[in-house]
Amino acid sequence: MAKIGLIDYGMGNLFSVQQAFKRVNQPLDIIRDIKSLRSCDALILPGVGAFDPAMNNLRKTDLIPSITNWVNNGKPLIGICLGLQLLFETSDEGNSKGLGVIKGHIRKLPQEKNERIPHIGWSPIYKINECPILENYPESNWMYFVHSYSACPFEEKNIVATTKFGKTNFSSIVWHKNTGACQFHPEKSGIAGQKLIVNWLKWLKRTTF
Protein backbone atom coordinates (compact mmCIF):
# COMPACT_ATOMS: atom_id res chain seq x y z
CA MET A 1 0.00 0.00 0.00
CA ALA A 2 1.28 3.46 -0.92
CA LYS A 3 2.27 5.78 1.89
CA ILE A 4 0.31 8.98 1.33
CA GLY A 5 1.13 12.17 3.19
CA LEU A 6 -1.45 14.83 4.06
CA ILE A 7 0.35 18.16 4.40
CA ASP A 8 -0.57 20.07 7.56
CA TYR A 9 0.22 23.79 7.44
CA GLY A 10 -2.66 24.93 9.62
CA MET A 11 -5.17 25.75 6.85
CA GLY A 12 -6.56 22.44 5.68
CA ASN A 13 -9.65 20.51 6.68
CA LEU A 14 -7.56 17.49 7.61
CA PHE A 15 -10.25 15.52 9.41
CA SER A 16 -12.68 15.49 6.46
CA VAL A 17 -9.92 14.42 4.07
CA GLN A 18 -8.75 11.69 6.43
CA GLN A 19 -12.29 10.38 6.80
CA ALA A 20 -12.83 10.28 3.04
CA PHE A 21 -9.69 8.18 2.54
CA LYS A 22 -10.54 6.03 5.55
CA ARG A 23 -13.82 5.09 3.84
CA VAL A 24 -11.78 3.54 1.01
CA ASN A 25 -9.32 1.87 3.44
CA GLN A 26 -6.40 4.19 2.75
CA PRO A 27 -4.65 5.64 5.82
CA LEU A 28 -2.98 9.04 5.56
CA ASP A 29 0.16 10.24 7.34
CA ILE A 30 0.13 13.83 8.60
CA ILE A 31 3.14 15.71 7.20
CA ARG A 32 4.59 18.67 9.09
CA ASP A 33 8.32 18.40 8.33
CA ILE A 34 10.74 17.52 5.56
CA LYS A 35 11.80 14.17 7.03
CA SER A 36 8.25 12.77 7.10
CA LEU A 37 7.55 14.11 3.61
CA ARG A 38 10.54 12.29 2.12
CA SER A 39 9.20 8.93 3.26
CA CYS A 40 5.95 9.33 1.28
CA ASP A 41 4.95 7.89 -2.08
CA ALA A 42 2.31 10.57 -2.77
CA LEU A 43 1.14 13.84 -1.23
CA ILE A 44 -2.14 15.68 -0.65
CA LEU A 45 -2.14 19.48 -0.37
CA PRO A 46 -5.48 20.56 1.17
CA GLY A 47 -6.54 24.12 1.85
CA VAL A 48 -9.32 26.27 3.29
CA GLY A 49 -9.03 30.05 3.60
CA ALA A 50 -7.13 32.83 1.85
CA PHE A 51 -4.09 32.72 -0.45
CA ASP A 52 -1.61 34.97 1.41
CA PRO A 53 -2.08 33.46 4.90
CA ALA A 54 -1.81 29.98 3.38
CA MET A 55 1.51 30.79 1.69
CA ASN A 56 2.78 32.41 4.88
CA ASN A 57 1.92 29.28 6.84
CA LEU A 58 3.57 27.05 4.25
CA ARG A 59 6.74 29.12 4.42
CA LYS A 60 6.88 28.61 8.19
CA THR A 61 6.93 24.82 7.70
CA ASP A 62 10.03 25.03 5.46
CA LEU A 63 8.28 22.55 3.16
CA ILE A 64 8.02 24.78 0.07
CA PRO A 65 11.31 23.70 -1.59
CA SER A 66 10.47 20.05 -0.96
CA ILE A 67 6.95 20.40 -2.41
CA THR A 68 8.14 22.23 -5.53
CA ASN A 69 10.91 19.68 -6.09
CA TRP A 70 8.37 16.90 -5.57
CA VAL A 71 6.08 18.23 -8.31
CA ASN A 72 8.89 19.19 -10.70
CA ASN A 73 10.36 15.68 -10.38
CA GLY A 74 7.04 14.16 -11.44
CA LYS A 75 6.03 12.64 -8.12
CA PRO A 76 2.27 12.33 -7.47
CA LEU A 77 0.42 15.06 -5.61
CA ILE A 78 -3.21 16.08 -5.46
CA GLY A 79 -4.37 19.53 -4.36
CA ILE A 80 -7.79 20.32 -2.94
CA CYS A 81 -9.59 23.71 -3.15
CA LEU A 82 -7.11 26.33 -1.89
CA GLY A 83 -4.45 23.63 -2.32
CA LEU A 84 -5.10 23.85 -6.08
CA GLN A 85 -4.68 27.62 -6.08
CA LEU A 86 -1.39 27.51 -4.18
CA LEU A 87 0.17 25.47 -6.99
CA PHE A 88 -0.02 28.50 -9.32
CA GLU A 89 2.24 31.54 -9.60
CA THR A 90 0.06 34.44 -8.40
CA SER A 91 -3.47 35.24 -7.24
CA ASP A 92 -5.92 38.14 -7.33
CA GLU A 93 -6.57 37.35 -3.67
CA GLY A 94 -3.18 38.50 -2.39
CA ASN A 95 0.36 39.64 -3.06
CA SER A 96 2.28 36.50 -2.16
CA LYS A 97 3.87 34.35 -4.82
CA GLY A 98 2.42 30.87 -5.04
CA LEU A 99 4.37 27.65 -5.40
CA GLY A 100 4.58 28.31 -9.14
CA VAL A 101 4.73 24.66 -10.17
CA ILE A 102 1.87 25.26 -12.62
CA LYS A 103 2.18 28.35 -14.81
CA GLY A 104 -0.81 30.64 -14.52
CA HIS A 105 -2.82 32.95 -12.29
CA ILE A 106 -5.71 32.66 -9.85
CA ARG A 107 -8.53 35.05 -10.76
CA LYS A 108 -11.58 36.19 -8.83
CA LEU A 109 -14.80 34.68 -10.16
CA PRO A 110 -16.61 37.13 -12.46
CA GLN A 111 -19.73 38.97 -11.34
CA GLU A 112 -22.53 37.04 -13.02
CA LYS A 113 -26.25 37.71 -12.95
CA ASN A 114 -28.06 35.25 -10.65
CA GLU A 115 -24.74 33.92 -9.30
CA ARG A 116 -23.36 34.66 -5.85
CA ILE A 117 -19.74 34.95 -4.77
CA PRO A 118 -18.48 32.94 -3.00
CA HIS A 119 -19.69 30.06 -5.12
CA ILE A 120 -21.04 27.62 -2.53
CA GLY A 121 -22.87 24.39 -3.24
CA TRP A 122 -23.20 21.61 -5.76
CA SER A 123 -22.28 22.06 -9.43
CA PRO A 124 -21.42 19.61 -12.21
CA ILE A 125 -17.93 19.22 -13.60
CA TYR A 126 -17.45 18.59 -17.33
CA LYS A 127 -14.48 16.58 -18.53
CA ILE A 128 -12.67 18.25 -21.44
CA ASN A 129 -9.35 16.37 -21.40
CA GLU A 130 -8.20 12.95 -20.22
CA CYS A 131 -6.36 12.43 -16.97
CA PRO A 132 -5.98 9.46 -14.57
CA ILE A 133 -8.43 10.68 -11.93
CA LEU A 134 -11.19 11.03 -14.54
CA GLU A 135 -10.68 7.60 -16.09
CA ASN A 136 -14.01 5.96 -17.01
CA TYR A 137 -15.87 8.97 -15.67
CA PRO A 138 -19.25 10.02 -17.07
CA GLU A 139 -19.44 13.33 -18.92
CA SER A 140 -20.55 15.22 -15.82
CA ASN A 141 -20.68 14.73 -12.07
CA TRP A 142 -21.90 17.02 -9.33
CA MET A 143 -19.27 18.15 -6.84
CA TYR A 144 -19.32 20.40 -3.79
CA PHE A 145 -17.66 23.83 -4.13
CA VAL A 146 -16.77 26.63 -1.71
CA HIS A 147 -14.63 29.31 -3.40
CA SER A 148 -14.41 32.85 -4.76
CA TYR A 149 -11.40 32.34 -7.05
CA SER A 150 -10.45 29.92 -9.81
CA ALA A 151 -7.33 28.94 -11.72
CA CYS A 152 -6.37 30.20 -15.16
CA PRO A 153 -3.51 27.98 -16.34
CA PHE A 154 -1.17 29.47 -18.94
CA GLU A 155 -1.46 26.23 -20.93
CA GLU A 156 -5.00 25.13 -21.70
CA LYS A 157 -3.89 21.49 -21.74
CA ASN A 158 -3.59 21.72 -17.95
CA ILE A 159 -7.37 22.10 -17.69
CA VAL A 160 -9.05 18.68 -17.61
CA ALA A 161 -12.51 19.63 -16.29
CA THR A 162 -14.57 22.81 -16.18
CA THR A 163 -17.67 24.01 -14.35
CA LYS A 164 -20.22 26.59 -15.45
CA PHE A 165 -20.62 29.80 -13.47
CA GLY A 166 -23.26 31.94 -15.09
CA LYS A 167 -22.23 32.46 -18.71
CA THR A 168 -18.61 31.54 -18.09
CA ASN A 169 -16.66 28.37 -17.36
CA PHE A 170 -13.91 28.00 -14.79
CA SER A 171 -11.32 25.24 -14.41
CA SER A 172 -12.51 22.76 -11.78
CA ILE A 173 -9.75 20.16 -12.24
CA VAL A 174 -6.20 20.77 -13.46
CA TRP A 175 -3.44 18.29 -14.26
CA HIS A 176 0.29 18.89 -14.71
CA LYS A 177 2.92 16.16 -14.97
CA ASN A 178 1.73 13.82 -12.18
CA THR A 179 0.04 16.53 -10.13
CA GLY A 180 -3.73 16.84 -10.12
CA ALA A 181 -5.86 19.37 -8.29
CA CYS A 182 -9.56 19.97 -7.71
CA GLN A 183 -11.23 23.32 -7.05
CA PHE A 184 -14.09 21.45 -5.36
CA HIS A 185 -13.93 19.26 -2.25
CA PRO A 186 -13.96 15.58 -3.30
CA GLU A 187 -14.04 14.59 0.38
CA LYS A 188 -17.42 16.37 0.69
CA SER A 189 -18.82 15.34 -2.70
CA GLY A 190 -20.46 12.02 -1.86
CA ILE A 191 -20.19 9.08 -4.25
CA ALA A 192 -18.83 11.18 -7.14
CA GLY A 193 -16.01 12.54 -4.99
CA GLN A 194 -15.24 9.11 -3.61
CA LYS A 195 -14.96 7.69 -7.13
CA LEU A 196 -12.40 10.36 -7.96
CA ILE A 197 -10.37 9.44 -4.85
CA VAL A 198 -10.55 5.75 -5.77
CA ASN A 199 -9.39 6.52 -9.32
CA TRP A 200 -6.38 8.39 -7.95
CA LEU A 201 -5.48 5.49 -5.63
CA LYS A 202 -5.83 2.94 -8.46
CA TRP A 203 -3.55 5.08 -10.63
CA LEU A 204 -0.96 5.23 -7.84
CA LYS A 205 -0.93 1.45 -7.55
CA ARG A 206 -0.22 0.84 -11.22
CA THR A 207 2.28 3.65 -11.71
CA THR A 208 5.98 3.53 -10.86
CA PHE A 209 7.81 6.77 -10.02
pLDDT in tens, 36-45: 999 999 999 9
Provide the residue ranges of all domains of the chain, joining segments of one domain with +.
Answer: 4-206
CATH number for domain 4-206, candidates 3.10.129.10, 3.40.50.2300, 3.40.50.880, 3.40.50.740 = 3.40.50.880
> Can you name the residues that pair with 22 across neighbouring β-strands?
none
CA-CA distance, 71 to 84, in Å (whole number)?
Answer: 13
pLDDT digits 0-9 by tens, 125-168:
999 999 989 988 776 789 999 999 999 999 999 999 999 999 99
**Model confidence, pTM:** 0.96
Instruction: Tell me which residue of 86, 107, 42, 108 sits closest to 181, measured CA to CA.
Output: 86
Q: State residue 208's pLDDT score.
A: 60
Nearest CA among 124, 133, 205 for reference residue 175: 133
pLDDT band for 1, please (50, 70, 90 cuts): confident
Q: What is the DSSP letter of 22?
A: H
Distance CA 110, CA 106 (A): 12
Using CB atoms within 10 Å of the CB of residue 147, give its burial: 0 to 12 exposed, 13 to 18 middle, 19+ buried. buried
Active site residues: 81, 185, 187
Q: What angle do CA 161, 79, 151 make, to 5 degrees?
A: 50
